Amino acid sequence: MKITTEFRRGRLTVWLHGELDHHAAKEVIGTICDEIDECLPSSCILDFKGVGFMDSSGIAVILKTYKRMRELNGSLLILNASKQVMRVLEMSGIGKFIGMEEINA
Amino acid sequence: MKTVNYIKIEIPSKSTNEGLARSIAACFAAQLDPTLEEIGDIKTAVSEAVTNSIVHAYPDEIGKISIRGRIFDDNTLEIVVQDWGRGIKDIEQAMEPMFTTGGDDRSGMGFTIMESFMDKLKVKSAEGKGTTVTMRRRLSFRTGTKR
C-alpha cells in the first residue's frame, strides 16, 4: 500500500493507495501516527479514493487515527470511500461519530 | 445439490497471502457471473477468514492454511478456510462484534462481517487442533445470462 501525506494550515491529509488489509494495516497505522505526532494537526483527512479493497483491518486503522486525533482535540474526516469500503465501514457503526464525504467520486 | 466445480489451494500463513487468497476466491466465483457487490462481499469474507488464521491460529509460527471452494448447481458458492493452529477457546465470544484477542490493530469485526456478507457461516474449532470456517453464498441469477 502506498501512502502520501500533506500537512498544510493545520490540516493533515493522508491519501491511501492500494488494498487496505491486515498485511498493510500495521505500516499504515505507523505512518499515520508518526505524521500526527510530528505535525500535531487540528484536523485529519483520510482520502480513500485510491483504495480498491478494505477489510476489517481498515476499521482498526480509522479507529486508531480517530483516537489520536481526539487526544489532540482534532477532527477526522473520511473521504471518497468506495461502495465496498462503505459496506465494511457500515458494519462498524463508525459513521455515527466520524464524518464521511464524497468529493470527487 | 450437485457440485459443478471445485478448487483446492494451500498457502503458508504469511500476511502477503491475504491478497492472493481473496483474489483467487474472486476469480473462482467469477464463473457464477456475480455482481460487483457480490464479488466485494466474497473477497471481504475470505480476507477476514484467512486473516483470522494468520493472526490467531499461528501467532508465533508459519502454518498451513487450506482454502477450498465449491460451486453448486443452484448458483451457490462455498468457501472453506481451514487451519491446524491453536483453535478458538470460546467460539460464541469470538463471534461477538468488537471482541478480539488481537491488539489495537485488530477491530474484532471479522466474524460479524463474514456472517453479514455471506448467507451461511459455520465455525468448527478445537483448541490445539485448528479451526474450519465454512461459508456459503447463493449468487443472484442475472437476466440474460446462461449457465
The Cα A71–Cα B18 span in angstroms is 33
Kindly give the interhelix angle for A83-92 and B110-117, rounded to the nearest 10 degrees.
120
pLDDT of the residue at B143: 67
Assign residue A50 the CATH number of its domain.
Answer: 3.30.750.24
pLDDT at A45: 97
pLDDT value at position A105? Answer: 43
SS3 B81: strand
**B98 vs A16: CA distance, rounded Å:** 24
Nearest residue in chain A measured CA to CA from B115: A91
CA of A53 vs chain B CAs: smallest distance (Å): 8
Q: What is the pLDDT of residue A72?
A: 95
Bridge partners, residue A46, by sequence? A14, A78
pLDDT at B141: 82
How many structural domains is chain A composed of? 1
Q: Helix or strand or coil: residue B49?
A: helix
Angle subtended by helix axes B36-52 and B17-29, to nearest 10: 140
Identify the CATH assignment for B3-138 out of 3.10.129.10, 3.30.565.10, 3.40.50.970, 3.60.21.10: 3.30.565.10
User: Quick check: helix, strand or coil at residue A98?
Assistant: coil
Q: Does A60 touch chain B (CB under 8 A)?
A: yes
Amino acid B114: pLDDT: 97
Tens digits of pLDDT across chain A (105 residues): 999 999 999 999 999 999 999 999 999 999 999 999 999 999 999 999 999 999 999 999 999 999 999 999 999 999 999 999 999 999 988 888 888 887 654
Q: How many angstroms separate the Cα of B72 from the Cα of each of A91, B124, B138?
A: 28, 22, 9
* Cβ contact A19:A3 at 8 Å: no
Contacts of A55 in chain B (CB under 8 A): 44, 47-48, 51, 113
Reported as a single tens digit per residue, the pLDDT across B100-112 is 988 778 888 999 9
Q: Which residue of A has its CA nearest to B112?
A: A91
Q: What is the pLDDT of residue B83?
A: 98
Which domain does A23 fall in, by range? Answer: 2-101
Contacts with B106 from chain A: Cβ below 8 Å: 22, 56-57, 60
CA angle B30–B106–A18, rounded 5-degree value: 45
Strand pairing category for A99-101 and A11-20 = unpaired
B142 is an active site residue: no
Within chain B, which residues score under 70 in pLDDT? 143-147
